[in-house]
């Protein structure tokens, strides 16, 4: 007999095209272009007295001295908030630098006591002499920064 009438309907091209992209998203952003001056001053160069020896950007890529060696106490260090760096002097004449960004959740650290820099966010502590973690929750040591000591001048490399 003929038993070929049973055909499994295998999806007769069920196209459910959801065209949700279209009308939404057409945000006409006509920025008022009525002003006369075409200064378009986006990069305001307010020659503020921040940078001493014109380095351009604040993260002076080699140029402006960060500190004098005499500024860095032996066995401790000094924080440079703007540069987010701490420079330390583990032993006389030996200088190191580390990022002051906490390796736990990236909080900026500004609290230095003796050779320990502390994070006020969750209480991590690090040695500024070698960057090691002294107290968790941070587990990664501080990121070392490159510095150059030239005479009595310390420069971020």
Please enumerate in sequence order all residues whose Cβ is within 8 A of that of 99, keeping only pairs 6 or more positions apart, or say none.
84, 85, 86, 142, 143, 144, 145
- Nearer to ligand FES by Cβ, of 75 and 123: the residue is 123
- Nearest-5° Cα angle at 51, 42 to 118: 100
- Nearer to ligand FES by Cβ, of 52 and 106: the residue is 106
Interaction of residue 113 with ligand FES, rule CB under 6 A = no
To ligand FES, the closest distance from the beta carbon of 31 in angstroms equals: 38
Query: Which residues are paired to 144 by β-bridges?
Result: 98
Q: Of 72, 104, 145, 147, which one interacts with ligand FES (CB under 6 A)?
A: 104
Residues 130, 96 contacting (CB under 8 angstroms): yes
What are the backbone dihedrals phi and psi of residue 70, each rounded to the nearest 5 degrees, phi first? -75, -15
Q: Which stretch binds ligand FES (CB under 6 A): 21-29, 40-48, 101-109, 148-156?
A: 101-109
User: Taking Cα atoms as reference points, which of 106, 103, 104, 77 lies closest to residue 89?
Assistant: 77
Residues 89, 72 contacting (CB under 8 angstroms): yes
Q: Which x/- pattern, by CB under 6 A, does the window 118-157 give for ligand FES? A: -x-xxxx------------xx-------------------
Q: Of 105, 111, 150, 153, which one interacts with ligand FES (CB under 6 A)?
A: 105
* Positions that interact with ligand FES (CB under 6 A): 102, 104-105, 107, 119, 121-124, 137-138
């Amino acid at each position: 007999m003929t038993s070929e009438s049973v055909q499994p309907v295998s999806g007769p091209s069920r196209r459910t095209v959801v065209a949700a992209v279209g009308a939404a998203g057409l945000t006409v952003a006509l920025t008022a272009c009525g002003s006369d001056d075409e200064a378009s001053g986006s990069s305001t160069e307010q020659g503020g007295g921040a940078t001493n020896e014109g380095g351009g950007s604040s993260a002076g890529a080699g140029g402006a001295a960060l500190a004098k060696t005499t500024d860095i106490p032996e066995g401790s260090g000094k924080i440079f908030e703007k540069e987010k760096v701490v420079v330390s002097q583990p032993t006389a004449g030996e200088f190191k630098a580390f990022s002051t960004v906490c390796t736990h959740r990236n909080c900026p650290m500004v609290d230095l006591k003796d050779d320990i820099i502390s994070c006020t966010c969750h209480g991590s502590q690090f040695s500024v002499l070698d960057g090691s973690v002294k107290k968790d929750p941070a587990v990664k040591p501080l990121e070392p920064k490159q510095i150059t000591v030239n005479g009595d001048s310390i420069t971020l490399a």
